[in-house]
Each structure stands twice: as structure tokens, then as C-alpha cells.
Amino acid sequence: MADPDDSFITAARLRPEISQSWRRSLMSGLRPDSGVRLEASMDIDRRGRLQIAAAPVLDQLALELADTGFGILLADSRARIIARRFGERRLETAFDRAGIAIGSLFLEETTGTNSIATAFELRRGCAVLGEEHYIESFKGFSCYGHPLISRVTGRLEGVLDISCPAHLANPLLGPFLARAAREIESQLLLGAREAEQRLLAAYQTAAAGGRRAVAAFAEGVVMASAKAMELLDPCDHAVLRGLAADLPARDHSVRREVELSSGRSVSVTLRAVPGTGGVLAELTDEASPRPRVPRAGERMGWIRVEAAGDIAGHRGSRRPVLVCGEPGTGRSTTVATLAEGQVVRRWDTVELLRADAVDLVRQVAAESPEVVVVEDVHLLSPPLVAQVARLLSAERVWTVLTSAPLADLAPEHAALAARCLARIELPPLRARREEIPSLVRSFVHRLYPEARVRFTPQALEALAAHPWPGNLHELREVLRQVLEHRSAGDITRADLPPMLREAARTRHLSLVERAEYETILAALRGCSGNKVHAARRLGMSRATLYRRIRALGIDDTDTVTASRTGGTGVRAHADGC
């Protein structure tokens, strides 16, 4: 694919950092005359640490800028605007018309060159003056942006911006904004210590009396009561951390059922502690242990307990059953368990499509099976859908269908599925993260019964972080590959395939940071690990690239491993990569 025409950038005679930003915007598919659609996100934590730390500084800036044409914007670590202050009403109205509102996402690939998106990209202060804006609709403004860096973790916490009509631009605004950014960073440092104290206070309140199983999780912090320590082992901590990472900012609490590595079933209530970035987990030990799933041969280890209960009821009622779910979730295994010990006639879509005007009802009557199974009905043609519908109405035969998830069915297939009032819906593995440890134990026992291995908490976190598009089938193949190389001892994150190690690193990154992680890693691999060439390809300085690599936790060992296993990664060069 040819590079887009960038002659207009050269002709504009821009400052180097602005020119590079324009090129990044162009390479992302954005044109200067593009309309900017700034859809405001509602998932804003209005009591987050950055909001609390910045509020007094923003209020002071608002007083200093009263009755002027200047405004202050605060963006968070995802480049979303989370606070605004204005010196006069006219500028607020102009921003509203431009769509610059609370929740608006400012990235170079969506808004081009501006002081929020470009400071977010460069991780240093920058000014974008009038015509230097990439998007035409922003050229009436001048703005100065400064990143907010955590003095504890070194991570980007947000961007502070001061904006005004283009004719009011003043070089003194840069130092003015940098001073305010340093004050917010100082407040963040104090807030981090206060957040630890608030998290400790919330934990002590929840664990008062010592009779409750309570754990608290935050970045680099784990606290657990004596009762929680009795219930949890390190593998369970990994599962709870994964559940905590999935807790939406706007939700106060989430209740989940979790099977611990010991086999005990507990109810876990996860609650975010406002202003701390931490989560409290309160565990309730069930009065009786979770009943073990009855197994048919070696198959039932795939099936959830809820589905196992459904199976017993459906076998008794013998009403038409629909088993639906994504590929790899265990549809065929569930069907085999439903029909165990009975005479089965099974058709799959390929067989039916190859058959010449097969009459399903007549053929079933001739063969007299006890169970008729039709797999993947979402792939059937309309005439075959009609035949299966007739089959569902036939007497003295139990019919079981399998299909994709109900939400993915076409109208004619959805109508067929609606005729099966008995359903077993199998969730994808990404919705069963808390079951990863027990599933791993089950698969290891089946694949290599003689193996004497232990998956470390870091390895389980990596497994829980992966999206598992292939569901249980993919998990089985990953474990097969791991166990072929190690049959005893601890299995660590380094023993897992590269894609799972990357997923573990990016799990706690925002969507924006995750996209940046993948982009930089792809550039490094495409440039044979050479950071100088990768920085040039990305349109940033080598120093900026080094900072982003450190901040995002990109590890050169992944490219080395990918090279050895036939991936696109290569060994780092000797120039410091």
C-alpha cells in the first residue's frame, strides 16, 4: 500500500515536532478537513485520584484567569477530558460547539495535532498555535499542554492544557502551565500516600473483629485477613486481581461466585475504594462445598456446574434442546454428555449440505434412533432449516441442536432456535476467568496425568488476561504445548507462548496504552529490534521511544522468543536495544 501524499506537510514549513505529529495523524488515516466526532464517554470516575489531586490547582487557576479568554482542560491517562475551567463564558460556548466536552477522547489518530493529544504522545510539554493544528476546525485556538507524570511509578497520569483564541497566544503560558502541572504532580504524590491510608482504613473496617475473610488489592499492595489467608493461596490471589481489574469505574460493587484452587466455592463481593485505585474483596465461604460435576468418561471437565444441572433435567424431560455458544466452548462435549448411553443419529452441516434432498423426518423414522443431533444449525440453508423445524415436531424422538450464540443468529435460524424452549447457553472462556485455575488443573490431569507441575500466580494471571478467542480448545492446546516442554516443577510466565506473556503485561493498561504497546512492539519487530529505525517509523525521537518502552513494560525478551519460535520478533541489536 502506497504512503498517503504528505506534500502539504512539507509545504507548510512547520516546526519539527509539529511536522512529525501531522505525519502521525496522516498515517492514521486522518485528513485536515476531516470532521471530528468527539463522543463523550460516560465511564468517568469523578472521584478518582487525579480529579482529587488536581481540583484545588484547577480552582486556583480559574481564579487567576477570571474574566480572560483562557480556559483550562484536564485529561486523564486515557486522554479523556475529565475537568474544565473557563475564564469567560464565550470560550466555554466555543468549546461546546467544537465538541470539547467532559469525556471527549483526544488522541492524534482522532483529533490530530493539539496540545492534549501531542503532549500525550510525546510525554513532554508542547505548544500548538493556531494554524499548527492539524484539523481545520481547531485552527482558531492556540493551546499549551503539559503531561502529568507520577513521581511514584513514572507513568503518565494525564495532561494539563491551557487554551485560548489564537490571537491571545503568549509564550509565557508554557512556564505558567508547567508550574501548575508540578503542583498537581505534588498533590498526586501526597494523594498516593493518603490513598494507601484510605485503603488501609477501608480494609480495617471491613475486617474488624477478625471473623471475616477480606482482602485488599492495589498497585503493589496486598492485604488479607487471617480468615482470608486460610482460604486463599497465591493462585487465588491472581484470580481475584484479575476480577478486580475488570471492575468498571462506575460500578460500586460486583458479586461473583469463584471456585478456589482448593475446590471450595466462595462468593466474592468486589468493591472499589474511591480515590485509591484499590479494590476490597469480601469472601463468603459457602455452607456446603460446590458439588462436583458428574463426568462422562473424560468429557465433563469442560462443562460448568450450571450446565451439568441442566443436563440432568433435560435428559429426564426429553424436550428439544438447543446447546449454543462460541466455537470451542464445549458444544459437542455437552451434546455427547446429554446423549450418553443412548442410540444417537448425528448430522453436521457439511453432511446435510452434501446430501441430495435428504428427508430428515423419514430417515429418522427408518433408523429409529433415541437421540437426533443436528450440529451448527446456524450454517443451514433455508430448506434445511424447514426440515429441522419439522423434525422438532416429530414424536418419539429427542432432538438436540447446536448453534452459535443466540445473539449472532440470522432471523431464520433464530426462529428455529426459538422452538427449543430447553437451552444450554455456554459462556465464552473470557467470561469464566475465575475458573481458569480449576480448568487448568482439569486439563493438565487429562493431558498428562503423570505431570507434577504447579502454575505460578504470574502464569495464571497471564492465562486469565488472554481473551481466548478459541475458548476451551485454545486453552487445551496452549497447555499441551507448555506440558510438552515441562512436566515437573513450577510453570512460570516465561514458559507460556509469547502472546500470553504480552496479554499479561497489557491487562492493566488502558485501551489507549494497550494500543500504544501493540504499535510500538510491532514497529520494533518490523525494524528487527532496532530502536533508532523503530522511532523513525513511529515519528518520535529515540528518547521518547525509550521512555514509552519503560512506561509500558515492553520486554525485549518477547521479540527474542518470537524469533526462536518462528514469529516476527528478532534478537535485539547491539545498539542498546
**pLDDT by 10-residue block (mean), the chain, 577 residues:** 72 89 86 73 68 90 90 91 90 84 86 92 92 91 93 84 92 91 89 75 79 78 78 75 66 76 81 78 66 39 51 78 89 85 81 68 78 87 84 80 89 89 86 81 86 82 82 90 85 83 59 68 80 81 76 59 37 31
pLDDT at 299: 40
Alpha-carbon span 344 to 353, nearest angstrom: 20
Strand partners, 403: 324
Please spell the DSSP secondary structure of 85-123, one letter per residue. EESSHHHHHHHHHHT--TT-B--HHHH-S-HHHHHHHHT
Q: Position of cell 482542560?
A: 73
pLDDT score recorded for residue 356: 56
Q: What is the pLDDT of residue 116?
A: 94
What are the DSSP calls for 387-450, one per residue? HHHHHHH-SS-EEEEEES-GGG--HHHHHHHHT--EEEEEPPGGG-GGGHHHHHHHHHHHH-TT
Q: What is the DSSP string of 494-509?
A: GGS-HHHHHHHHHTTS
Strand partners, 222: 217
DSSP string, 468-482: -TTHHHHHHHHHHHH
What gap in Å lies between CA 462 and CA 496, rounded to an integer? 8
pLDDT at position 200 is 78
CA nearest neighbour of 107 among 71, 68, 135: 135
Q: What is the model's pTM?
A: 0.46
pLDDT at 178: 92
The number of helix segments (H) and strand segments (E) in the chain equals: 23, 17
Which three three-digit cell numbers place residue 371? Answer: 437421540
Question: Phi and psi of 95, rounded to 5°?
Answer: -65, -40
Q: What are phi and psi of 319, to 5 degrees?
A: -85, 155
Instruction: Locate 464 and state its grid cell.
Output: 486469565
Give, rounded to a whole angstrom, the gap between the first and last alpha carbons of the chain: 29
Q: What is the pLDDT of residue 268?
A: 87
Q: What pLDDT does residue 574 have? A: 30
The CATH classification of domain 7-191, taken from the options 2.60.40.3680, 3.30.450.40, 3.40.309.10, 3.40.50.2300 = 3.30.450.40
**CA nearest neighbour of 311 among 287, 342, 265, 288:** 342
Do 7-191 and 207-285 share a fold? yes
3-class DSSP assignment, residue 347:
strand
The three-state DSSP-derived secondary structure of 446-463 is: HHCCCCEEEECHHHHHHH
Cα 27 to Cα 5: distance, rounded to the nearest angstrom: 10
How do the domains of the chain map onto residue ranges?
7-191, 207-285, 305-426, 446-463+478-564
β-pairing, 371-374 vs 398-403, is parallel
Are 437 and 236 a contacting pair, CB within 8 Å? yes
Coil/strand/helix, residue 143: strand
Q: What is the CATH number of domain 305-426?
A: 3.40.50.300
DSSP H or E segment with residue 492: none
From the list 519, 497, 515, 494, the residue with the least C-alpha distance to 506 is 515
Residue 175 CB: number of other CB atoms within 10 A?
Answer: 12
CA distance 295 to 471: 20
Q: Residues 155, 157, 162, CA angle at the centre, nearest 5°?
A: 130
- For residues 549 and 329, what is the distance between their CA atoms, to the nearest angstrom? 36
Q: Which three cell numbers stand for residue 469?
A: 478467542
Options 3.30.1460, 3.30.450, 1.10.3470, 3.30.70; CATH for 207-285 is 3.30.450
Helix, coil or strand: residue 37: coil
Longest dimension (CA), the chain: 91
pLDDT at 230: 77
Which candidate, 456, 471, 444, 441, places its Cα nearest to that of 504? Answer: 456
Which pLDDT value is given to residue 536?
A: 82
